[in-house]
Protein backbone atom coordinates (compact mmCIF):
# COMPACT_ATOMS: atom_id res chain seq x y z
CA UNK A 1 0.00 0.00 0.00
CA UNK A 2 1.34 3.43 -0.93
CA UNK A 3 1.17 6.46 1.32
CA UNK A 4 0.51 10.13 0.68
CA UNK A 5 3.35 12.58 1.17
CA UNK A 6 3.07 16.26 1.98
CA UNK A 7 3.53 18.37 -1.15
CA UNK A 8 3.10 15.51 -3.61
CA UNK A 9 0.72 15.72 -6.58
CA UNK A 10 -1.45 12.67 -7.04
CA UNK A 11 -4.15 11.31 -9.36
CA UNK A 12 -7.05 9.54 -7.62
CA UNK A 13 -9.25 7.03 -9.48
CA UNK A 14 -12.14 4.80 -8.40
CA UNK A 15 -13.65 6.58 -5.41
CA UNK A 16 -17.21 7.36 -4.34
CA UNK A 17 -18.85 10.76 -3.82
CA UNK A 18 -21.62 11.14 -1.24
CA UNK A 19 -23.61 13.93 0.32
CA UNK A 20 -22.14 14.97 3.67
CA UNK A 21 -24.79 14.64 6.35
CA UNK A 22 -22.54 15.31 9.35
CA UNK A 23 -22.81 18.59 11.19
CA UNK A 24 -19.07 18.45 11.99
CA UNK A 25 -16.94 18.52 8.86
CA UNK A 26 -13.52 19.71 7.71
CA UNK A 27 -14.74 21.89 4.83
CA UNK A 28 -17.97 23.78 4.25
CA UNK A 29 -19.00 21.66 1.26
CA UNK A 30 -22.10 19.50 0.75
CA UNK A 31 -20.17 16.49 -0.62
CA UNK A 32 -17.35 14.21 0.53
CA UNK A 33 -15.29 11.47 -1.09
CA UNK A 34 -14.94 7.90 0.13
CA UNK A 35 -11.84 5.86 -0.64
CA UNK A 36 -12.91 2.27 -1.32
CA UNK A 37 -10.95 -0.95 -1.72
CA UNK A 38 -10.54 -0.37 -5.48
CA UNK A 39 -9.33 3.25 -5.09
CA UNK A 40 -6.07 3.94 -6.93
CA UNK A 41 -3.74 6.77 -5.87
CA UNK A 42 -0.81 7.43 -8.22
CA UNK A 43 1.84 10.08 -7.71
CA UNK A 44 1.88 12.28 -10.83
CA UNK A 45 5.10 14.24 -10.35
CA UNK A 46 8.04 12.63 -8.63
CA UNK A 47 11.24 14.39 -7.70
CA UNK A 48 9.81 17.88 -8.19
CA UNK A 49 11.64 20.80 -6.61
CA UNK A 50 10.30 21.86 -3.24
CA UNK A 51 9.43 25.52 -2.65
CA UNK A 52 10.59 26.94 0.69
CA UNK A 53 7.56 28.67 2.20
CA UNK A 54 9.54 30.45 4.93
CA UNK A 55 10.87 33.96 4.29
Alpha carbon separation from 50 to 6, 11, 38, 39, 53 (Å, rounded): 11, 19, 31, 27, 9
pLDDT at 30 over 70: yes
Pairing between β-strand 31-45 and β-strand 9-19 as defined by DSSP bridges: antiparallel
Q: What is the pLDDT of residue 43?
A: 86
Range 8-14 average pLDDT = 90
Using 50, 70 and 90 to split pLDDT, how confident is the model at 5? confident
pTM of the model: 0.60
pLDDT at 46 over 90: no
pLDDT at 13 over 90: yes
Amino acid sequence: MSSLNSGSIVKVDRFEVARCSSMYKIADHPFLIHFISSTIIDEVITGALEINLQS
